Amino acid sequence: MNIDTNAFCTFLEAEVLGENAQDNLTITNISVDSRSLLNDEHTLFFALQGKNHNGHIYINELITKGVKYFVVSEDNLPKETSGVVYFKVKNTLAAFQKAANFHRSHFNLPVIGITGSKGKTVVKEWLNFLLNEEFSVIKSPKSYNSQTGVPLSVFGIEEKHNLGIFEVGISTIGEMERLEPIVKPTIGVFTAITEEHSEGFESVEQKIQEKIKLFTNVDKIVCEDDIRITSFLSKDKLYSWSFENREAQVFASLQNDTLIITPNAKPSFEVILPFSDNASVRNILTCITTMLLLNYSTEIIKHRIELLYPVELRLQLKDGLNNCTLIDDAYNADYQSLVIALDFLEKHKINKSKTVILSDVFRSGFEEAELYGLVRSLLLNNNITRLIGIGNHITEYLYGIPNTYLFKTTEEFLQKMSVEDFSEETILIKGARAYRFDKIVTALETKTHETVLEVNLNAIRHNLNFYRSKLESKTKIMVMVKAFGYGNGSFEIAKLLAHENVDYLGVAFADEGIDLRKAGVNTKIIVMNPEISAFSAMIAYDLEPEVYSVRELNAFLKVARERNCYQYPIHIKLDTGMHRHGFLTNELQELVELLKTTNVVEVKSIFSHLSSSDMPEYRDFTLDQINMFTKNADYLMSSLDIQPIRHILNTSGVYNFSAYQMEMVRVGIGLYGVGNDEEEMKQLHNVSTLKTRIMQIKEIEDLESVGYGRRFRAVGKTKIATVPIGYADGVHRSWGNGVGYVLINGQQAPIVGSICMDMLMVDVTAIDCVEEDEVIIFGQDLPVTLIANRIKTIPYEILTSVAQRVKRIFYEE
């Protein structure tokens, strides 16, 4: 896009710094992410500031990459050499949103604005599918619906588009007012309202009232005829559907897998449903109602609805054969989502080489030659090591790039290349559904059984931000990734945390730290239980030891001297009542004397650990621990004349004693979604889900028994499902024998008889299910806290017990 500098500055109320501003700027890329490989000389970079990040600190680095245009709010900027121009504003996020608004104001196209607490992304993707034959659609990529995601989506509008479909989410009051003018919808769509994500609102009513501010300037609003929503909307704008109210614009009834639709004053017609679960049916009705509003014929509606497909928004990280890592994105290949997937590849790559397996790409409104020109430069800018293109169009346009292999079909690729052609690389597998790239994923992934632990990376990020919100912005944060990231997997989580700029990672043993370094994690790492035999390796890998005794310190000094260390970072652990390890008060003098005489090591931090920060009944004890800690730390600091970082709070410490955050805190369990009371749990998102599938279902007769020791006896005819997970996978044996249950199709199935090593049996007499149905062992609706309470252990033990043989799958939405 071309920007008139003067008009832009007036709109943004920006002051131009630097002699280099021309009257007209050619901007092809709007960026808020300093790490994006697309930042170049035609990028306008907004230096956003949040509680935990500040875009200004990357400006220098971006200038060396060729970026010239920056929207900033701070002083003390790098000099405006080599054509650099700053647009100085008061608040960069507000300016970012205003700039999107400015961009939007140049286009006069109909826009569908979607909000609601559930189903926004599905409805958006489906509407795109249903309407894009008649329209040149610009839509939000993936679920870009936030304060920054919405503007980024809107910047994509171009002359050639004649319909926008954007989703908008808010987390608290006052946000929608800022997003409405950016989207400026002409048609509003309200999906469903639920109690989820209500933390930022006083009530559901308030949440609805805030969300419908998106509809301030629309002509019509599509929604369910739900009194909670419609009571706030003006009658003449309403275009609603209902299962009950015949007065609604669209009346619907459901007969098995068929919807009978009766539009107001028009004949009924039938639509065969591709999915019959409740949420999908409602989303489909929202889509049908929108199509009716747009005057689509019943023929087209019937035909296209039948073709709807499940929307998969997750990008999944999986282990591949030959030490590869796979990013499974085998469900769509529109251009915008390719941009996101390539970004994800760069951030999560565990191997040095980046391979992309890509099908034909789609982008509404673009001629093929132009589109593939963009794809070509996108791939080149992303420094792809190897490209494998599959499809008729991609083979036509993407020849000539080094290390490119082109195939007409997925079958041809599978015949000509095999697992042996891939090793030690991170492979993005991205293709439209029709290309069946799931077959490629199956061919390249490590084979394991049906049981998986799914880890939601967005949830970890959310939880990290929750604890950060409890802290002053200058307080550092250390995240404990010991015990394989509390059972969840260490590299992927450590990578994510490194990108989120946490200050330190904590591991238990040196080996864990070495593995992280080998996977390319550069964040500072403290080893909490350093073993003397590992000191040499620790120094080689830049791992910093916890020092808990004079004996250990002497041993470390010996190795560090041999390796000519100077001021090697160490962390002093004080014992303030936990009585696990650390220096007691009467040992401090000896420590001081030893440290005074050496500059081989440097005390980077002093810390201690609370034994009962989660227990209100021991509040006084905790305060005594903190008190003793500050006294002893003061003593060390004054005797040694040093100013190290001090830290004592763990997760529940942050929650209950945030006044004592000092210079750093150490969070563990909370990040993985476990808080110590209901209030805290409500604000965290579930991170891990342990799931498998039913192997076999059988019916047994009255009084027959199940399992070892015949500990279960049937009462009447009973339907038993066998599930391939046992105590060797980490399901506690005490959770069996009628104590615990699993979830099948949302219902509780009691575990009957003893849990075996690799299997367990459940009673599914009352549950509608078949073999291969999914079985949830723990997750959102069956939290580890509940299991831990019932079997008298703690959530930490449940999480860390999940066996290594259970495959981990990481995903981001």
Binding residue positions: 580, 757
Task: Write the single-letter amino acid at 679.
Answer: E
- The answer to the question of residue 513 lying near ligand PLP (CB under 6 A) is no
Question: Which residue, 656, 683, 670, 675, is CA-closest to 199?
Answer: 683
Contact 470, 649 (CB under 8 A): no
Judged by CB under 6 A, the residue of 333, 394, 480, 755 near ligand PLP is 480
Q: How far is CA 600 from the centre of its chain?
A: 41
Q: Which of 667, 720, 743, 751 binds ligand PLP (CB under 6 A)?
A: 667
Please identify, using beta-carbon distances, which residue of 349 and 482 lies nearer to ligand PLP: 482
Q: Write down the catalytic residue from 142, 482, 495, 604.
A: 482
For ligand PLP, the closer of residues 487 and 726 by Cβ is: 487
- Beta strands per DSSP E along 220-339: 220-224, 238-242, 250-255, 258-263, 269-272, 315-319, 325-329
Minimum distance between the CB of residue 181 and ligand PLP, rounded to whole angstroms?
42
Question: Residue 191 in contact with residue 280, Cβ under 8 Å?
Answer: no
Q: Is 477 in the site for ligand PLP (CB under 6 A)?
A: no
The reply to whether 493 sits near ligand PLP by the rule CB under 6 A is: no
Of the pair 565, 578, the CB lying nearest ligand PLP is at 578
Binding residues for substrate: 580, 757
Is there binding between residue 669 and ligand PLP (CB under 6 A)?
yes
Q: Residue 809 — φ and ψ, nearest 5°? A: -125, 125
Answer yes or no: are the C-beta atoms of 703 and 713 closer than 8 Å: yes
- CA atoms of 303 and 740, how far apart (whole Å): 46
The stretch near ligand PLP (CB under 6 A) out of 99-107, 306-314, 424-432, 661-669 is 661-669
Select the span of 296-304, 426-434, 666-674, 715-723 touching ligand PLP (CB under 6 A): 666-674
Residues of span 272-291 touching ligand PLP by CB under 6 A: none
527 binds ligand PLP (CB under 6 A): no
Q: Does 507 bind ligand PLP (CB under 6 A)?
A: no
Q: How far is the CB of 677 from ligand PLP (least distance, A)?
A: 14
- Binding part of the chain for ligand PLP, among 173-181, 452-460, 668-676, 763-771 by CB under 6 A, reads 668-676
Contact between 528 and ligand PLP by CB under 6 A: the answer reads yes
Among the residue ranges 304-312, 663-671, 732-740, 749-757, the one whose residues contact ligand PLP (CB under 6 A): 663-671
HEC readout, 141-158: CCCCCCCCHHHHHHCCCC
Cβ proximity to ligand PLP, 320 vs 670, nearer residue: 670
708 is annotated as an active-site residue: yes
Region binding ligand PLP by CB under 6 A among candidate stretches 155-163, 466-474, 664-672, 759-767 = 664-672
Which of these segments, 89-97, 313-321, 667-675, 708-716, binds ligand PLP (CB under 6 A)? 667-675
* 569 vs 605: CA distance, rounded Å: 9
Rule CB under 6 A: say whether 103 interacts with ligand PLP: no
- Are the C-beta atoms of residues 408 and 376 closer than 8 Å to each other? no
Rounded to whole angstroms, the Cα distance separating 458 from 696 reads 34
Q: Which of 191, 283, 651, 754 binds ligand PLP (CB under 6 A)?
A: 651
Q: Please tell me whether residue 650 binds ligand PLP under the rule CB under 6 A.
A: yes
165 scored as a contact of ligand PLP (CB under 6 A): no
Find all residues with CB under 8 Å of 700, minimum gap 6, and list them: 706, 714, 717, 718, 720
Q: At closest approach, how far in Å is the CB of 611 from ligand PLP?
A: 11
Active site includes 482?
yes
- Asked if 571 interacts with ligand PLP (CB under 6 A), we say no
| Residue 655 vs residues 429, 471, 649, 661, 667: alpha-carbon distances, Å | 41, 10, 9, 10, 10
CA 256 from chain centre, in angstroms, equals 36
Q: Is 693 in the site for ligand PLP (CB under 6 A)?
A: no
Interface residue with ligand PLP among 113, 149, 188, 668 (CB under 6 A) is 668
Question: How many chain residues bind ligand PLP (CB under 6 A)?
Answer: 11
Closer CB to ligand PLP, 582 or 707, in the complex: 582
> Do residues 395 and 389 lie in contact, with contact meaning Cβ atoms separated by under 8 Å?
yes
Alpha-carbon gap, residue 360 to 352, rounded angstroms? 26
Q: Which of residues 348-367 bind ligand PLP (CB under 6 A)?
A: none
Phi, psi for 33 (deg, rounded to 5):
-120, 110
Q: Please identify which residue in 211, 213, 666, 693 interacts with ligand PLP, judged by CB under 6 A.
A: 666
| Residue 784 binding ligand PLP, by CB under 6 A | no
Nearer to ligand PLP, 286 or 625 (CB): 625
Give yes or no for residue 609 binding ligand PLP (CB under 6 A). yes
The nearest distance, CB 502 to ligand PLP, in angstroms, is: 13
Q: Is 693 helix (H, G, I), strand (E, B) or coil?
A: strand
d(CA 87, CA 227): 47
Return the number of the residue (211 or 609) whose C-beta is nearest ligand PLP: 609
In the complex, least distance from residue 685 CB atom to ligand PLP, rounded to whole angstroms: 16
* Minimum CB distance to ligand PLP, residue 667 (Å): 5
**Closest listed residue to residue 375, CA positions, set 352, 350, 404, 353:** 404
Annotated catalytic residue within 266, 352, 708, 717: 708
DSSP state of 639: H
The single-letter DSSP state of residue 557 is H
Q: State the CB neighbour count (10 A cutoff) for residue 367.
A: 10
Stretch touching ligand PLP by CB under 6 A, among 152-160, 288-296, 424-432, 660-668: 660-668
Nearest alpha carbon to residue 808 among 331, 344, 430, 456: 456
SS3 310: coil
**Residue 780 beta carbon to ligand PLP: minimum distance, rounded to whole angstroms:** 20
- With contact defined as beta carbons under 8 Å apart, do 639 and 592 qualify? yes
Tell me how far, at minimum, the Cβ of 674 lies from ligand PLP, in Å.
Answer: 8
CA neighbor of 348 nearest in space, from 323, 326, 365: 326
Burial environment of residue 796 by CB neighbours within 10 A (0 to 12, 13 to 18, 19 or more): middle
Q: Does 475 bind ligand PLP (CB under 6 A)?
A: no
Q: Which residues bind ligand PLP (CB under 6 A)?
A: 480, 482, 528, 609, 650-651, 666-670
Instruction: Indicate which residues carry an active-site annotation.
Output: 482, 708
